[in-house]
Amino acid sequence: MTFTHVLVTGASSGIGRALALALAGAGVTLHLGGRDEARLQAIAAECRARGATAVTRAVSVTDAAAMSDWIEGVGPLDLVIANAGISGGIGGEGGGTVENEAQTRAIFATNVDGVLNTVLPAMAVMALQSADARGLRGRIAVVASVAAFLPGPGAPAYCASKAAVDSWVVGTAPSARRRGIHMTSLCPGFIETPMTATNNFPMPGIMSADRAATIMLRAIRLDMTRCAFPGWIAAGARLAALLPAGWREALAARFPAKGTM
């Protein structure tokens, strides 16, 4: 299955960049969003070298009006991937023991509001598109995380924000499907990206962004509602979440906290 009109947020690096390259090909139009215009132009050039038409938009997902204007103006969309996200933690310089207010608000503004600012306009656009033989008008995928399954004290705002969007996507999927829109929550484990580069603790099951993009696109094509991978990491996170809070905290204390971005 080839997607011919695709929009990706957070496309200038990490998973977003890998997804854009994996989707690029002859006859494909990619709408690539991100905050860094220079990096967007660089990935667009790589996509064009693979035969795709790549159009960039320097925009922050936290700007609801700008996101609506962009998404509503690009034309038909087969696939929208809400990938943009930021991380944080309590292990930065200064020895802080909790996420500060600005950091917490920034994480929720990007990871939750940013997803809504992407998905809601995309749903409105797709609802007006013609349905195919299966009654499908478009697909929307949201990049969450296996962190959604475990409230980690080392990065509480990040875990909570990913839990919120994963739960919202999975809960919204049935009603969206009745409108001809398939939604997928993508929950990867550790991926080799700038976001994980600050982690100074073991990252079991870590994989390349290219490998993650392959798994994600396969899940989207299979119309999965949720894809959590690697499976053993996702299962481990779910099991750990069942432990008493005190036990989880004692276990987490054995590892360094995540550094701030």
Cβ atoms of residues 214 and 18 within 8 Å: no
Let me know how long the chain is: 261
The sign of the dihedral angle between the CA atoms of 19, 21, 26, 32 is positive
Q: Is 216 a catalytic site residue?
A: no
Closest CA to 166 of 189, 139, 147, 180: 147
The secondary structure of 5-67, three-state, reads EEEECCCCCHHHHHHHHHHCCCCCEEEEEECCHHHHHHHHHHHHHCCCEEEEEECCCCCHHHH
**Catalytic residue selected from 3, 70, 149, 158:** 158
- Rounded to whole angstroms, the Cα distance separating 243 from 252 reads 12
Positions marked catalytic: 158
